[in-house]
Each structure stands twice: as C-alpha cells, then as structure tokens.
Amino acid sequence: MTKLLSIRLVAILVGLGFALIALYSFVLGAYAWMTEEPAGHLPYEEPRDIAFSFDGPFGKWDIQQLQRGFKVYDEVCAACHSLKFVAFRDLEQLGYDEGQVKAFAASKQVPGIDPNTGEATTRPGLPTDYFPDPYPNNVAAAAANNNAIPPDLSLMTKARGDGVNYVASLLSGYSEPTAELLAEHPEAAPGPGLYHNPYFPNLNLAMAPPLTTTGQVTYDDGTEATVEQMSTDVAAFLAWTAEPTMVQRKQTGWPVLIFLLFATVLAYLSKQQIWAAAKPKKD
C-alpha cells in the first residue's frame, strides 16, 4: 500500500511539474508577443472605428448604403477586382427588382461556349451567372497591375482583421509618408509602382488610390460622394457580400437564446421536482 501511494505521489508531482512548465512557457511567450516588435515591423495604423448600421446584436442593413456601395464597386472596383461568390440574382436582396437585375446582368459579358464550334467565348450575363473576373487569368491580372494580382473581394471583410473598418480606412487613407516616418524607417519609402497607405501592414501597396475625388460616382439618392462616403459605402457592400445572412443570423439568435434560457430554467425546475422525494427528511 505504501509503495502504491509513493508511485501515485511521484506521478502527481511529475504531472504538476509538466503543468507548471507549460504555464511558464505560455506566460513567457504571451509576454514576448505583447512587448516585442517583429523584425522589419513598420508602424502601421489600426483601422478607424466607423459606425455601421449592421454593428451590434440588433444591427440591420442600410439598403440605401448597400446600393451606394454596389455602385462604387461596379463603377470603380470592378475594373480590377472580382466578386466570384456573388451571383447577379443576389442583388435582389439589395432592393433591385427582377427587371433591374436582368438588365444589369445582360450588360456584363460572362464566359460561355459557342454552341456551333465549342470554342470559349463570351455572352451577355443571366441573373443566375456570377460576377465575372475582369481578367482572363492571373498572368493577365499581374501584367496589368505591376505584378500584383488584385484579390477577389467577395470575402475580403472576413479575410482581414476588423475587415469592414480596415477596408474603409484603407480606401480613404492614402497619403504621403511623413518626414519623421522616413527618418526613422527609410524602408517605408514607396518603391516604384507602390503607394503609401498607413493602414496597410507594410505601408506600401501596388494598388493606386481608387477613390480620389468627390463626385467620382454619382449616387442615385443624392448623397454627396466624398472619398470618405464612397469608402464607407463600398466597405458596407463588401460586408454584405461576405455574409449576406448576417442580419437574419442576428435576428434568429435572439429567439434561440431566449428558448435556451427558458429550457434551462424548465430543466432545473423539473430536476428539483423529480429529486424532491429523494431528499432525506429532517427529523
């Protein structure tokens, strides 16, 4: 019995030792991550905190803003960036009727097959088609953009940290690097074909400022199309393309949460009722 207790005690001590080592390593690594700057780190800015109608648990889409953002994408961003996970018919969710969607789809050329020759060709789009890629392949995309392939924007706000704020901040954040920045970080100077943007992690990117002047897009609702407004609107539109069911998810979550709370209370009361007879009676 004494030998068995000794073995158990040793096992417990060994396990406790491993746990303490793991905890120490975790704390040490977390401290290093929070206090040390990685090699080559450049002082980029965190995205601005912008208020959107769909923020928070009770958020809702601002349909007019989504339509404005779609117009910015169509007239500016679509020249380089695709939306390969969005179909033309999805635009009905933004308040466009069937005729408008059909007309818009027909105005775009999508890949097709010639029924007579079997060769690849293009044809007017249908509502069931997806937004076409502006380039036939990555080689052509890189050749037209200083060897940088423009990313697809369908899920962009999900692919970046604080995605919606990041997109809006990036699009309106182009500027010239300050003298203080260049003095401290000479490597931050934009190279050939690069443009300075304090919200981009390495401060310089190949995409030229896409939104440059007020009135670059004419909004149907009369809103003044400033660079800030267009940036915010297209960021909201890309939030919708990345998660079009966001609002429905939030609206569904509350009834589910209330049901779970009710079920928990009901289960607790049932347990109390069932086990009441099993409790020992006091003398």
99 within 8 A of 78, measured Cβ to Cβ: no
Binding site, annotated residues: 77, 80-81, 207
Q: How far apart are CA 48 and CA 45, in angstroms?
A: 9
Sequence ranges of the binding site for heme c:
77, 80-81, 207
Helix H or strand E segment including 189: none
Structure tokens, 254:
């509350």
Cβ pair 164, 239 in contact under 8 A: yes
Distance CA 281, CA 283 (A): 6
Is there a contact between 128 and 87 (Cβ–Cβ < 8 Å)?
yes
Round to whole Å and give the CA distance between 92 and 70. Answer: 12
